Amino acid sequence: MCFDRDFRRLPGLLTRRLAVCALALAPLVLAGLPVQPARAADLDAIKAAGTMNVATEDDFHPFEFIEDGKPAGYDNELLALVQAEAPFKINQEIIPWAGILPGVTTGKYDMAVTAVLVNDERKQSLAFASPIAESTSFYAVRKDEDGIKSGTDLSGKTVGVQSGSAMLKHLQTFDAKLKAEGGAGVKEIIEYPSYPEAYQDLAIGRTDAVVNTRINLQSLVNSKPDVFAIGEAISEPVYIAWATAKGNDKLVEYIDSVLLGLRKNGKMYELQNKWFGTSFENMAETVQ
């Protein structure tokens, strides 16, 4: 990076960094060439290199998480099936959610192999492969909660959600709807870097509810049925898909061919039943 991310550094250091950047970019500017950001590799480059670099989230049950020091969950098992078909090696890096989509758009990773909710905003910078699941945002509460019987009861309440997620957008939209209908709206939306922290705060009463996908909240309730309960939907159904940089059409077409093959032979649906307790056999083949 040309610019120092720590803005508390002395101005002199920042000046020197800017000077170094100017010297590095000067040949391109003088030559009249545009300075382009790095991009994820396309299919031809991946085949030539023999490797595809992907990023997977570290703690998002039941899609992906670490268990006994190894990657586990729906996405990881699905990725293993893709690797068995691919004519190249897939290098996987397991990182927090916040770094995944920026890593794809800047070219650090070729694909985000994680539960990315598809929406119009993300389509501006990302291209999505064939859906791997359907999802709807719900809220969860403590099992002994008696003040939240429906979505409208979230008015005046404190609600947790993951920062930068599609579920945050869903919650904000639902909050606006509550206000438009004459309600007070959500008292406070607390954003968390990961869901385990949000669930912990809900369990001890720091928040009144947490918004996540139905699939993930069902996994939470299955693991702690005496602590949590699922409420109502606060969004319309949406698709979940892996993502690469926008314009990476050949890579999307290749991954689509493998994923659709796994639908046809039933292996994708077997994994869905294993991890979600249901399967989504009526999903669209594409979300582009």
Residues 57, 110, single domain; the answer is: yes
Q: How many domains does the chain have?
A: 3
Phi and psi angles of residue 224, each rounded to the nearest 5 degrees, phi first:
-140, 65
Q: Are residues 65 and 180 in the same domain?
A: no
Q: What is the DSSP string of 98-151?
A: GGHHHHHHTTS-SEEEEEEEP-TTGGGTEEE-S--EEE-EEEEEETT--S-SSG
Please calculate the CA angle 118-99-83 and round it to the nearest 5 degrees. 70
Host domain of residue 59: 43-133+239-276
| Residue 39, pLDDT score | 56
Q: Which of 148, 107, 145, 104 is CA-nearest to residue 128? A: 104
Which are the contacts of 33, defined by CB distance < 8 A and separation ≥ 6? none
**Domain contains 288:** no
Over residues 20-29, the pLDDT tens digits come to 344 343 433 3
pLDDT at position 63? 95
Residue 282 lies in a domain: no
- 248/128 same-domain check: yes
Helix (H) or strand (E) holding 262: helix 249-264
**Integer Cα distance of 91 and 76 in angstroms:** 12
Q: Is residue 285 in a domain?
A: no
Q: What is the CATH number of the domain that holds 120?
A: 3.40.190.10
Residue 110 near residue 251, CB atoms below 8 Å: yes
Residues 4 and 16 in one domain: yes
Query: Is the preceding peptide bond at 62 cis, omega within 30 degrees of 0?
Result: yes
Rounded distance between C-alpha atoms, residue 93 and residue 200, angstroms: 26
pLDDT at 179 (0 to 100): 96
Residue with tokens 């926008």: 246
Q: Is residue 196 part of a domain?
A: yes
- Please state, in angstroms and rounded to a whole number, the distance separating the CA atoms of residues 107 and 42: 10
- Same structural domain, 226 and 204: yes
Do residue 27 and residue 48 come from a single domain?
no
pLDDT per residue rounded down to tens, the chain (288 residues): 333 323 223 334 333 333 434 434 343 333 444 434 445 689 999 999 999 999 999 888 899 999 999 999 999 999 999 999 999 999 999 999 999 999 999 999 999 999 998 989 999 999 999 999 998 999 999 999 999 999 999 999 999 999 999 899 999 999 999 999 999 999 999 999 999 999 999 999 999 999 999 889 999 999 999 999 999 999 988 899 999 999 999 999 999 999 999 999 999 999 999 999 889 998 999 987
Q: Is 141 in contact with 234 (CB distance < 8 Å)?
A: no
Whether residues 163 and 149 fall in one domain: yes
Residues 71 and 113 in one domain: yes
Question: In the beta sheet, which residues pair with residue 188?
Answer: 158
Dump pLDDT digits (tens) for 46-94: 999 999 999 999 888 899 999 999 999 999 999 999 999 999 999 999 9
- 79 assigned to some structural domain: yes
Total residue length of the chain = 288
Query: Is the domain of 78 the same as that of 157?
Result: no
The pLDDT value given to residue 184: 93
Residue 153 maps to a domain: yes
Same domain, 31 and 67: no
Q: Are β-strands 70-72 and 64-67 bridged in parallel, bridged antiparallel, or unpaired?
A: antiparallel
For residue 108, being part of any structural domain is answered with yes
50 and 73 within one domain: yes
b/e 31-54 (16+ beta carbons within 10 angstroms → b): eeeeeeeebbbbbebbbeeeebbb
Whether residue 281 is contained in a domain is answered as no
Same-domain status, 121 and 51: yes
